[in-house]
Structure 1
Amino acid sequence: MDTKNVPLIKTKRFWAGILLAQFILFYIFSKSEYWISFFDKLYDVQKNFHIRIFSWIPFSAGDLFYILIGIFLLVQIMNIFRKNRRKKALFRILIFLNIIYFTYQIFWGMMYFQNPIIKKLASQDKPNVEKAKLLALKYLKKAGETRKSASEDKNGVFVIKNREGLVQEIIRRQSFLPNQIISKNTLTKISVKESLFSNIMSYTGISGYYNPFTAESQFNSNLPHSIIPFTIAHETSHQLGFAREQEANFVAYLTGINSDNPELRYSAEYFTLKSLLRYIYTEDKIFAENLIRQYSPAMKRDRAYERNFMISHEGRLEDFFGFTNDLFLKSNRQEGSVTYSYFVNLLLNYEK
């Protein structure tokens, strides 16, 4: 291609160079406390603005956005295999990647490099199995008691009766988060949507996700109801400004653990108990299995329903998404998707 008479901005080489420059620039930003603080403050300013724009839409605008992106990329990839359209297709893909990458980093990507919550806690001890056992016994009792106040379906399985009330309670409880740990501007409202991909998500092992382009929290509406309240609290913790997965779990725990809403409180207590048991199981399998046998009859029904749901949706799609999600987490200063030690570490130090 003769580029002498073609404006530089219209060449593939120019946009490839811009993309590379972005990689380098945001890498430098990720190493600077000043710029990390800048993007943190920027997110605090723009999050409520973005939520106001998209929250009134009755379906997930972010999911529609992803569908349109998928169609665009599919068309361009098909054009790459057509000789007369290849150059334009590559040019469009490069421009698209520049725009998407820049927008993602400005709106969300740099949030992964915030100062870890663990550094804000008075105690920063490493996880201890014996302490985790004591805490697991505590949450076994708490979850069993809270479960008595929750609603059930005809099969005696936990069911959410008022999802709108649940969402409003999450907003209310976020305003009570401890300021010394959660130094974020509160949300005026939260944008929670059922994912348009719920049926597919059931086979991926993904319970929910946050869309940084529309500030929407999506969740899998097909999940067992015992999982959904904590999932919503987790995704809205991302909306609040916590990018790391296990820190979003911790903020969701703080949101739900003292709630007056039994649906939210039980889901938070139950998630906490399961996370502790996963951690304990690696060190003392017998203790973990014995504690599971001590579940209340209602909790055993919930656990059986969850297990049956997971077993019926197992497959290679879950393995693929688990692998890719694991890579994504590790590339953003996080533990892998199956590791709960950081959440347990935060939990134990906070409780201490």
Structure 2
Amino acid sequence: MSPEALQAGLDRVHGAGLAGIVAEVREDGHAWLGAAGVADTDTRRPMDPRMRLRVGSVTKTFTAAAIMRRCEAGEIDLDKPVAHYLPRLVPGERGARITVRMLLSHTSGLADYLPTAYPSLKAFPVIAETSPASMEDHQFTRFDPIELIEMGVSAPPVAAPEGRPGIYSNTGYLLLGQLLELVTGCDAEQHVTETLIEPLGLSGSELPTQPRIEAPHPKMYERWFGMYDPPHDFSVFDMSWVRSAASLVSTVTDLNRFFGLLLGGEIVSPSSLEQMRRTGPVIAFDGSTIDYGLGLTRTTTPGQGTFWGHDGTAWGAGALLMTSEDGRRQVSIALNEQRWNLLDAAGIPQPHPIDAALQAFVGLALGE
């Protein structure tokens, strides 16, 4: 693991057009921290690898781990229907058919609430027919999770329960947040903080209840496929629209620590971890198919083996986590810019040099 090569790889990502990137690569107990680019495009304040960023759906792994621990305590049964716990939120036949396991694995068939909560994105994934206007409209909106769940449940289902491939949906993970609140007596964010974030020493991580991040952080720039030019800073944003699905703020060091402990069997029991690693095909928001378990993704890279982790985006920021099957190698990456791909005449996002530079860095970090 050459520090010079890793830094050069990060520099190439910034040079390809990305505002800023931070990363931590771990191999056999040795860690390398690096950063490239700027935290503020106006002042040119440099990125620092210890900065906190919003990491989007990486939150789902934390929520899934919290659910599995409550299963171990006998408070939740993965194969009981959601109507057993939350009958008012998913009523009728669907509530009787959808299990907790299906919520975790994105096989519930529940639609995502995002197109209803953010009307300008209603046409997604037909990107050319969307607009980022709703992002600004709701920058300081305090959403009620029950109302968001109702939006997803009342929308036409996107698949039958337990159908394959599954369809990625934040609605399921907001329901899991409500389930945690039911069995623990406190909201999911507080429970995850008190039982995972604090005991594990993740001092750079939080599930904020306010729009502003108080600790050192970069600005977070959203391009929305060229519709924001220049990119719009959304580093101040009320994340109640995703809560237990995608609201986590963290550092690359904390994320590597969490995933290392989880996959090393130190957060959930071996049997719980085995269930989290049972995967199947799930259609992601961008139309790609991912290999998804219970809050974990599996990626197999020719010549490098199998890696476990998760990725995620928020408005203007995102992260990627990968840990090797044997736990010897980890890479954690966080970015302060999102959706840089421009659309062609048919409205299809086109490859960007940032994509190739990021892929090259990940390959280098994983030992390609």
Structure of larger gyration radius: 1
Q: Which has the higher helix share?
A: 1
| Greater relative CO (CA pairs within 8 A, separation 6+) | 2
